[in-house]
Structure 1
Amino acid sequence: MHEALLGRLVVCVGESYVLTSPDDQAPYMTDWRGRYHGSAYAVVRPSDVAQVSSVMRLCHELGVGVVPQGGNTGLCGGATPREDDAVIVLALDRLKAVRAIDPVDNTMLVEAGCTLAQIQLAAEGADRLFPLSLASEGSCQIGGNIATNAGGVHVVRYGNTRQQVLGLEVVLPDGTVWNGLRSLLKDNTGYDLKQLFIGSEGTLGVITAATLRLMARPKQRAVAWLAVTDPQAALALLGAARDRLGERVSAFELISQNALDVVLRHIPGARLPLAKNPPWSVLLEVSDVAADTRLDESLEALAADAFESGQVSDAAIAASVAQCEALWALRENISEAQRIEGLSIKHDVSLPVSAIPAFLESAERALDADYPAARIVAFGHMGDGNLHYNISSVDAAQNAALIAQTEAVNRCVHDIVAGFDGSISAEHGIGQLKREEMVRYKSTVELALMRRIKEAIDPRGLMNPGKVLPDL
């Protein structure tokens, strides 16, 4: 069956785009973090929706699993095949056309393999903004962003990927193409089917194109790095910023001393933005579509008032675009710096914004008691309640011992998250990493409903096997 499959795949997409040698397959078989490694009959690279459909129809006929893969920048192993599964990897990188931009309707029609940076640049060319912004935007692809409902730094103002999607084109497990590429803001005609595929991590079908919402392009922005006394002070600062600046608050990032320290240690050219590295920092960005306001003055006034109230002890406000980018580079390079340093136990959690200070205090106390060698690297999108809460040790031997206790550490952190009515996955998804955790933190009713949806759309269980849904 293996040789027959490969021969028929060549007919579908051409010999050059069916990769079978280990060297050619290697980039597709390992996740970005290097945690998961898998194998596949082939990596198949179709060029359009018709080729995707023919590949899916063939795999459905032969009972071969399909692992859809975009830019392979995910952090939970969702786009990496497992070892010894009977699967192909379906790479969408050749579907990279921007089909249309409509600045009147404020929409853009793009194919799944477009990188996020490509989409941002195309929107900018039409004097519009596509607001999704991630550290991996130069390599992540919009199909993967949609399949994982990616978040990023501007969720506080614009929402997750889900809020940016008006319509989808999806190839179903049997090769049927559903064309739902509508550009309507209102369509109240029954179930909103696109929502099933957004965040489904390739377990229901293959997203091949999307109609995206565009926004008015901001004419000005201001960025500040502020030293705060503690997370409670950061929460008060967030409230003051929203009260004073409203929708112009586009990003509000909380960054611990350890997180910035890792960047300063491992990223060439990184410079401390203040006189010293404070216990906690806030990276605040405001933007406005109007050109006649002075956001820098508004930000300075906010910082001055926060200094007077004791919430802020020091501040640096960018005076140029280059300085804005330098401040953002410190935040965006945290994950890369941690990857360079070595393995850590990563948590991507969501909490009520008001509960973040209490969560941080409770989790640190619990970890200090049970894992005294642990170093907490906490940072994330405080404005929308999403924290990246990573645990490691600087000492290599101690870190190896800590990593060996990953399951117990996860249980400690996730139980505290659940105690605050939070979520164990805010924006990274479930993938392979957290699928068994779903049993503890999702109700039996929720899991049963998800399984019914999966069985209805993918009755043979061929789409991205071993991801998201735990085994029965």
Structure 2
Amino acid sequence: MTYRSADAAFAATLSETLPEGVLCPVEPRYLEEPRGRYLGQAGLLAKPSEVDQVAELLRAANAARVPVVPYGGGTGLVGGQVKTDGAAPLLISLERMNRIRAVYPQENVLVAEAGAILADVQQAARAQERLFPLSLAAEGTARIGGNLSTNAGGVNVLRYGNARDLCLGLEAVLPSGEIWHGLTRLRKDNTGYDLRNLLIGAEGTLGVITAAALKLAPIPAQQGVALFVVPSPEAAIDLLALARDQLGEAVSAFELMHRQGLEFLAEHLPQLRQPFAAPPEWSVLIDLGLSSRQEPVAALSDLFEAALEAGLAEDGVIAQSEAQAQALWMVREQIPEANRQVGSISSHDISVPISAIPEFIRRGDEEIAKLGAGDMRVNCFGHLGDGNLHYNVFPASGKSRGDYEGFSGAVKTAVHDLVQEFEGSFSAEHGVGRMKVSDLQRYGDPVKLAAMQAIKQALDPKGIMNPGAVLPTSEWLD
């Protein structure tokens, strides 16, 4: 069986049952992705405004065997939102389904439609003196449906968990066009298989998320931010343990930064003020969320003194104001932009057990050096508190990635093979998309892959949902 493109005849069929304005011209921005690695295609673009319209779109697509690509904010980094070849898909953008349906402050729950922008969800929670803690660089454009479909992570996973941990219930449309009314606010519901967690992280391959009941949290009364210079990654891990021993769950984020990333910032974003005249080899950014009874500067000062005495810190800067806290965070948040301007040979979103991080970094540098281009530079940074590193490899100073033709694949394989050896993951928070389908086939557990294919076949027997993402089409298509 083959797919049918979302052509003019299919559009005419949809127009018979859908209100005017749901079908829109396909604008180029819907066919692009942030890194410019893929150029998508689409036969039709639909912008439904309610769940019944999404159901009608999927019913028609399933009947005609038209491929469907759900579209959130377009911020995904692994190509899950673009279909590059084959039959032109129906692109379904949830941007008109962007309402905050309800907020329940006493329950710490907010119900939002899938097209709601993450920053707007955060603001709606704050308006009720609550916190929606999912926070990531693209929060001004990323949409909740996409965040859930990719199980987004970000900087607060250490304290609050991934997107999956912040969701109580879902409303979703299955490939058949049936609506699953699973928008529960319950925290205990032990009634069989958890379809919520099946759809979260599926990257649009099992259905379209249309709304979600999200967990909120109290807003910490006070925030503390500091940047500590540490002698090594081992010391950083011991410092994390010390911080949690002293401060418990108040540690919201714990970010590791290497000198190379700070040097990239100095070279490409010189207007960004850095706290140290000479970039330290290793440093950690610590963010605390404290109660009204705790004083952040005092808490961080006590932590620094204990770390200094234990040999876990060599220097440090503690923010004395909100402006200083934002300035310290800006250093961490602008590293990806500096990386982009340098241009990587190969970038990796990986996770390994936290205690294995120092050895992984050592072994990774050794493996990169073995590849025959010893001048490649490594920028290792990321969410140390949850074991997620961005281990990215760059050209030598004065060279570009074009000078390393043929090295990209070898670098990726070396890094991912090492991740596998350390029982880690080659995709910690960005998902599989289309970019990492072959990696999943190479490194995935065969039993898990077989189960995934069986689930896909059961829920989407015609294979219309985001074909080519997560699983190779040929693996399950009849």
TM-score range, shorter chain: over 0.9
Q: Identity, % of aligned pairs?
A: 46
Aligned partners of 1:47, 1:269: CA distance in 2, in Å?
A: 43
Alignment partner of 1:135 is 2:137? yes
Q: Alpha-carbon deviation of 1:450?
A: 0.3
Choose 46-55 or 164-173, whichever is displaced more: 46-55
**Within 5 A, what are the aligned runs for 1:448-463?**
448-463=450-465
Q: Alpha-carbon deviation of 1:376?
A: 0.8
Query: Could you tell me which residue of structure 2 aligns to residue 263 of structure 1?
Result: 265
SS in 2 for 1:226: strand
Query: Could you tell me which residue of structure 1 aligns to residue 214 of structure 2?
Result: 212
Partner amino acid, structure 1, of 2:323: A
The one of 2, 9, 12 equivalent to 2:7 is: 2
Q: Alpha-carbon deviation of 1:327?
A: 1.1
8 Å CA contact 1:373–1:398 kept in 2: the answer is no
| Off by >6 Å, runs of 4+ in structure 1 | none
8 Å CA contact 2:171–2:210 kept in 1: the answer is yes
Query: Could you tell me which residue of structure 2 aligns to residue 319 of structure 1?
Result: 320
Partner amino acid, structure 2, of 1:46: P
Aligned partners of 1:116, 1:27: CA distance in 2, in Å?
A: 19
SS in 1 for 2:243: helix
Partner amino acid, structure 2, of 1:81: K
8 Å CA contact 2:199–2:206 kept in 1: the answer is yes
Query: Could you tell me which residue of structure 2 aligns to residue 83 of structure 1?
Result: 85
Aligned partners of 1:403, 1:374: CA distance in 2, in Å?
A: 13
Query: Could you tell me which residue of structure 2 aligns to residue 329 of structure 1?
Result: 330
Choose 80-89 or 28-37, whichever is displaced more: 80-89
Alignment partner of 1:65 is 2:73? no
CA deviation profile, 1:254-311 (whole Å, cap 9, x unmatched): 01111222233333631111232111110001112x2121121011111122223332
Aligned partners of 2:251, 2:194: CA distance in 1, in Å?
A: 30
Q: Alpha-carbon deviation of 1:7?
A: 2.4
Aligned partners of 2:27, 2:14: CA distance in 1, in Å?
A: 15
Aligned partners of 1:108, 1:12: CA distance in 2, in Å?
A: 32
SS in 2 for 1:89: strand
**Within 5 A, what are the aligned runs for 1:125-164?**
125-164=127-166
Aligned partners of 2:368, 2:409: CA distance in 1, in Å?
A: 13
Q: Alpha-carbon deviation of 1:360?
A: 0.3
Aligned partners of 2:121, 2:448: CA distance in 1, in Å?
A: 34
Partner amino acid, structure 2, of 1:135: A
Aligned partners of 2:459, 2:266: CA distance in 1, in Å?
A: 48
Distance 1:397 1:314, change over 3 A: closer
CA deviation profile, 1:50-87 (whole Å, cap 9, x unmatched): 11111111111111100111011111111112223331
Aligned partners of 1:56, 1:49: CA distance in 2, in Å?
A: 11
The one of 277, 280, 292 equivalent to 1:278 is: 280
Distance 1:47 1:11, change over 3 A: farther
Query: Could you tell me which residue of structure 1 aligns to residue 354 of structure 2?
Result: 353
SS in 1 for 2:27: helix
CA deviation profile, 1:177-229 (whole Å, cap 9, x unmatched): 10100011100111111110000000000000000011111110100011111
CA deviation profile, 1:415-452 (whole Å, cap 9, x unmatched): 11111111111110000111101122112111100000
Query: Could you tell me which residue of structure 2 aligns to residue 429 of structure 1?
Result: 431
Partner amino acid, structure 2, of 1:5: F
Unmatched runs of 5 consecutive residues or more in structure 1: none
Distance 1:230 1:197, change over 3 A: same
Aligned partners of 2:275, 2:15: CA distance in 1, in Å?
A: 54
8 Å CA contact 1:202–1:463 kept in 2: the answer is yes
Distance 1:249 1:42, change over 3 A: same
Choose 103-112 or 10-19, whichever is displaced more: 10-19
Aligned partners of 2:63, 2:108: CA distance in 1, in Å?
A: 40
Alignment partner of 1:227 is 2:229? yes
Aligned partners of 2:112, 2:269: CA distance in 1, in Å?
A: 33
Query: Could you tell me which residue of structure 2 aligns to residue 253 of structure 1?
Result: 255
What is the root-mean-square deviation in Å for CA atoms of aligned residues?
1.6
Aligned partners of 2:22, 2:375: CA distance in 1, in Å?
A: 48
Distance 1:47 1:394, change over 3 A: farther
Aligned partners of 1:17, 1:194: CA distance in 2, in Å?
A: 27
Query: Could you tell me which residue of structure 1 aligns to residue 368 of structure 2?
Result: 367
8 Å CA contact 1:375–1:393 kept in 2: the answer is yes
Aligned partners of 1:392, 1:89: CA distance in 2, in Å?
A: 35
8 Å CA contact 1:52–1:171 kept in 2: the answer is yes
Q: Alpha-carbon deviation of 1:368?
A: 1.3
Partner amino acid, structure 2, of 1:334: I
SS in 2 for 1:437: helix
Aligned partners of 1:97, 1:57: CA distance in 2, in Å?
A: 24
Aligned partners of 1:388, 1:101: CA distance in 2, in Å?
A: 35
Query: Could you tell me which residue of structure 2 aligns to residue 18 of structure 1?
Result: 23
Distance 1:449 1:28, change over 3 A: same
8 Å CA contact 1:274–1:314 kept in 2: the answer is no
Query: Could you tell me which residue of structure 2 aligns to residue 181 of structure 1?
Result: 183
8 Å CA contact 1:12–1:51 kept in 2: the answer is no
SS in 1 for 2:370: helix
Aligned partners of 2:171, 2:398: CA distance in 1, in Å?
A: 47
The one of 109, 125, 131 equivalent to 1:123 is: 125
Aligned partners of 1:130, 1:263: CA distance in 2, in Å?
A: 30
Aligned partners of 2:302, 2:228: CA distance in 1, in Å?
A: 13
Distance 1:378 1:403, change over 3 A: farther
8 Å CA contact 1:38–1:84 kept in 2: the answer is no
8 Å CA contact 1:150–1:161 kept in 2: the answer is yes
8 Å CA contact 2:381–2:391 kept in 1: the answer is yes
Aligned partners of 2:339, 2:405: CA distance in 1, in Å?
A: 14
Distance 1:13 1:368, change over 3 A: farther
Query: Could you tell me which residue of structure 1 aligns to residue 3 of structure 2?
Result: none
Question: How many pairs are equivalent?
Answer: 468
Q: Alpha-carbon deviation of 1:6?
A: 2.0
8 Å CA contact 1:100–1:109 kept in 2: the answer is yes
Aligned partners of 1:89, 1:13: CA distance in 2, in Å?
A: 15
Q: Alpha-carbon deviation of 1:314?
A: 1.5
